[in-house]
């Protein structure tokens, strides 16, 4: 059963097509790694899933309905830039993330104390326990990114969108955050879309690795065509492609 579906998506900025004929069907709980050249539209695709933008043509559906525009607990996000609350301490950031799922956006009393304890445990797990009372601006870029990832995971979203989440991290921290993400995923069964420039990371974490690329290319007009999904690899079974976009299927699709 498809949980997230992109059907025949076309999206342009002005006269520049960015994405064309993007089709993807994702089951609940799957981990999709997205790779592709810089500027080919990977972040744009995540923004469409988030409903920050609507596709010019085609349909995106999540659990059978168009993605909701309002931020909700269903979708957690870690973007290329850090997305933590600057006016809250590290602990406050994690407690606030739990509050996102409540009616008033805040927790009180025993629930708040329990959230605080979980926040401390999470900070311990990501190596930031010593900085629980510090503000994000006092942290290094890599530490802020770790906090942002922990924050998104704390809200236990049904869908997690990660845009190059580990780019700023040193190799040791990166592996620790991989473990953390995998543990959280095993606990929650969430569906994950992760854009990465590290193809090894894509295959290590993903169930599938999808490649965005431009199948059509005019050297005179490099912006004339958009990118689509050219490969969809099964990362769990030796990287065998599920589907490779062939010339004849392209003709059929555009016919």
Ligand X SMILES: Nc1ncnc2c1ncn2[C@@H]1O[C@H](COP(=O)(O)OP(=O)(O)OP(=O)(O)O)[C@@H](O)[C@H]1O
Site string for Mg ion, 21-60 (x = CB under 5 A): ----------------------x-----------------
The least CB distance from residue 45 to ligand X, in Å, is 7
Binding residue for ligand X, selected from 18, 26, 139, 184, defined by CB under 6 A = 18
Q: Which phi and psi angles does 246 have, rounded to 5°?
A: -110, 160
Binding residue for ligand X (CB under 6 A) from 1, 15, 38, 172? Answer: 38
217 is an interface residue for ligand X by CB under 6 A: no
Partner whose footprint covers residue 13, from Mg ion, ligand X, none (CB < 5 to 8 Å by kind): ligand X
Q: Nearest approach, Cβ of 44 to Mg ion (angstroms)?
A: 8
Cα–Cα–Cα angle for 69, 75, 76, nearest 5°? 120
Q: Is 39 in the site for ligand X (CB under 6 A)?
A: yes
Task: Report the relative pairing of strands 228-234 and 57-62 from DSSP bridges.
Answer: unpaired
Residue 89 binds to Mg ion (criterion: CB under 5 A): no
The residues pairing with 4 across neighbouring beta strands, listed in sequence order, are 26, 62
Cα distance between residue 41 and residue 239, in whole Å: 23
Closest CA to 92 of 66, 65, 71, 123: 123
- Choosing from 2, 5, 43, 61, the residue that interacts with ligand X (CB under 6 A) is 43
In whole angstroms, the minimum distance from the beta carbon of 132 to ligand X comes to 32
Helix/strand/coil for 78: strand
Taking the complex as a whole, how short is the minimal distance between the CB of residue 159 and ligand X, in angstroms?
18
Residue 43 or 173: the one with the smaller Cβ distance to Mg ion is 43
Q: What is the DSSP string of 11-66?
A: EEETTEEEEEEEEEEEETT-EEEEEE-TTSSHHHHHHHHTTSS--SEEEEEETTBP
Q: Given the rule CB under 5 A, which residues bind Mg ion?
A: 43
Q: Given the rule CB under 6 A, which residues bind ligand X?
A: 13, 18, 36, 38-44
């Amino acid at each position: 059963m498809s949980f997230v579906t992109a059907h025949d998506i076309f999206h342009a900025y002005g006269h520049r097509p960015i994405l064309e004929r993007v089709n993807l069907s994702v089951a609940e709980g799957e981990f999709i790694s997205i790779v592709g050249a810089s500027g080919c539209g990977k972040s744009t695709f995540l923004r469409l899933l988030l409903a920050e933008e609507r596709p010019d043509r085609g349909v995106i559906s999540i659990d059978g309905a168009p993605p909701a525009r309002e931020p909700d607990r269903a979708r957690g996000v870690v973007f290329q830039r850090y997305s933590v609350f600057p006016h809250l301490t590290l602990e406050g950031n994690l407690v606030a993330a739990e509050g996102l799922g409540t009616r008033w956006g805040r927790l009180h009393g025993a629930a708040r104390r329990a959230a605080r304890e979980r926040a401390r445990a999470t900070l311990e797990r990501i190596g930031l326990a010593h900085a629980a009372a510090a503000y994000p601006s006092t942290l290094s870029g890599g530490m802020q990114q770790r906090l942002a990832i922990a924050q998104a995971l704390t809200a236990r979203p049904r869908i997690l969108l990660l845009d190059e989440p580990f780019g700023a991290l040193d190799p040791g921290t990166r592996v620790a955050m991989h473990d953390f993400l995998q543990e959280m995923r095993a606990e929650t069964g969430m569906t994950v879309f992760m854009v990465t420039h590290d193809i090894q990371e894509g295959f290590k974490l993903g169930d599938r690795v999808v490649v965005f690329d431009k199948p059509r290319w005019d050297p005179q007009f490099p912006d004339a065509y958009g990118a689509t999904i050219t490969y969809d690899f099964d990362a769990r079974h030796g990287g065998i492609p599920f589907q490779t976009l062939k010339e004849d299927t392209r003709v059929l699709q555009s016919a």
